[in-house]
């Protein structure tokens, strides 16, 4: 698949930490409960760590007690790409950044959370960068 942001493997490796590369470019998963974003109350926009695209807003985040930041909807449907994931002997829906193709996490539905969409976008914190609402953009 072709994405608007194209980088060589060498560029990705030079820009990302080994953990970020493992998650974003190799569809890995960070350890549960290791991301401060899971319960961070900061108001702002969550951007893709790979390319800076705006993906999620803090007002759509909720505490799912799952070990990773959870959102009930992306900023806009065109900001993400959903792919069938048949790894680990099950069928899940992978979430990728539509701008650079980076792996973000998975989305689950029908779990009974009291959210407007009954969806849980379970996103690796290492794949995100939080831009606080009061931050100035140069």
Q: List the catalytic residues.
A: 122
**Token representation of residue 38:** 């899971």
* SS3 label, residue 9: helix
CA distances from 4 to 64, 108, 129 (A): 32, 27, 19
Cα 109 → chain centroid: 16
**Token representation of residue 88:** 């680990």
């Amino acid at each position: 698949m072709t994405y608007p942001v194209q980088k060589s493997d060498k560029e990705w490796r030079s820009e990302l930490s080994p953990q970020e590369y493992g998650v974003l470019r190799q569809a890995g998963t960070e350890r549960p409960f290791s991301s401060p974003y899971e319960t961070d109350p900061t108001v702002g926009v969550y951007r893709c760590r790979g390319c800076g695209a705006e993906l999620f807003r803090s007002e759509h985040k909720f505490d799912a007690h799952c070990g990773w930041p959870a959102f009930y909807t992306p900023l806009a449907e065109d900001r993400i790409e959903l792919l069938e994931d048949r790894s680990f002997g099950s069928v899940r829906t992978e979430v990728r950044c539509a701008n650079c193709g980076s792996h973000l996490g998975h989305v689950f539905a029908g779990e009974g959370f009291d959210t407007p969409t009954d969806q849980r976008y379970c996103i690796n914190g290492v794949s995100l960068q939080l831009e606080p609402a009061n931050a100035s953009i140069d």
